[in-house]
Amino acid sequence: MNLIKIIEYSFFSGITVFIGGVLSYFFEIYFRNGLIKEEIIHTSIAFGGGIIIAAVSLVLVPQGMEVLALFPMIIVFLSGAVTFFFLDKYIEKRGGAFAQLLAMLMDFVPEAIALGALFAIDPNLGLLLALFIGLQNLPESFNSYLELRKIGYEPYKVLILLFLLSFVGIISALFGTLLLSDMPEVTASLMLFSSGGILYLIFQDIAPMSKLEKSWFPALGVNFGFLIGMIGQKVLGVI
């Protein structure tokens, strides 16, 4: 029964990759270029950043710190930051317009693995993490679609790609629950490793992308994204 729930939760967290692409498809068709369109794009980026910050600060880091001792905690967290630093540099040189898509997968995969491992320990916490992952994938895939369209990819090709990537979450979550559910130190390390990398990406890529000249509204997206994380914790009784 737990395995079915994990598949359901990870499916929800992953299918938003495709949903974000579909929303972006209609957005591209029906919204004309201008300030409002730019505000929506930048606000969605900021909203996704707020959700990611909520996932890191409310789930990943607290759970990781609870298990690991001080020195391993420092090493793992900094290793995540340094690893994502080099991956980000590689993406910048080789990824081009795939940068947003690859950045999404860089935090989606380790979080989904942690989701599978965490669910066996605390189903409510696993559900909360699934909610975070699903909501952060939505704006990230929304903007990934637009990036791929800019370099000439046909809409149907982009949507097929995003649909296939939606199932990465299920594979990652099953890997986590089948192999890591009885290894709390490894799970905690994975959560802190991804947290270090995600925080790097937020301030290196996401926060700068969310800023829009002569518009202050997009920055509020971070607050709304983080607020959803707070509401989720309260509703699910995690705290």
Q: For the CA atoms of 188, 100, 128, 193, what is the dihedral angle to 10 degrees?
A: 10
Q: How far, in whole angstroms, is CA 128 from its chain's centroid?
A: 13
Report d(CA 57, CA 230) in Å as an integer. 10
φ, ψ of residue 141 to 5 degrees: the values are -75, -30
Task: Quote the percentage of the chain above a pLDDT of 70.
Answer: 88
Residues 113-123 have a mean pLDDT of: 83
DSSP character string of 117-180: HHHHH-HHHHHHHHHHHHHHHHHHHHHHHHHHHHTT--HHHHHHHHHHHTTHHHHHHHHHHHHT
From residue 171, how far is each of 104, 143, 153 by CA, in Å?
16, 24, 27
Cα distance from N-terminal residue to C-terminal residue, the chain: 25
Share the mean pLDDT of the chain. 83
Return all residues near 51 (Cβ < 8 A) that are at least 6 apart.
Answer: 132, 135, 136, 139, 225, 226, 228, 229
- In 3D space, the residue among 192, 141, 199, 101 whose CA is nearest the CA of residue 13 turns out to be 141
The DSSP output letter for 57 is I
pLDDT, residue 36, reads 74
What pTM was computed for the model? 0.82
pLDDT band (50, 70, 90) for residue 2: confident
Domains of the chain by residue range: 2-26+38-236
Q: How far, in whole angstroms, is CA 103 from its chain's centroid?
A: 9
pLDDT band (50, 70, 90) for residue 19: very high
Residue type, 196: G
Q: Is the pLDDT of residue 168 over 70?
A: yes
β-pair partners for 212:
215
Highest-confidence segment of 74-78, 85-89, 101-105, 123-127: 74-78
Q: Are 168 and 10 in contact (CB under 8 A)?
A: no
Classify the phi-psi angles of 154: left when phi > 0, otherwise alpha if psi is within -120 to 50, otherwise beta: beta
Per the model's pLDDT, the better-predicted residue between 208 and 143 turns out to be 143
φ, ψ of residue 212 to 5 degrees: the values are -135, 125
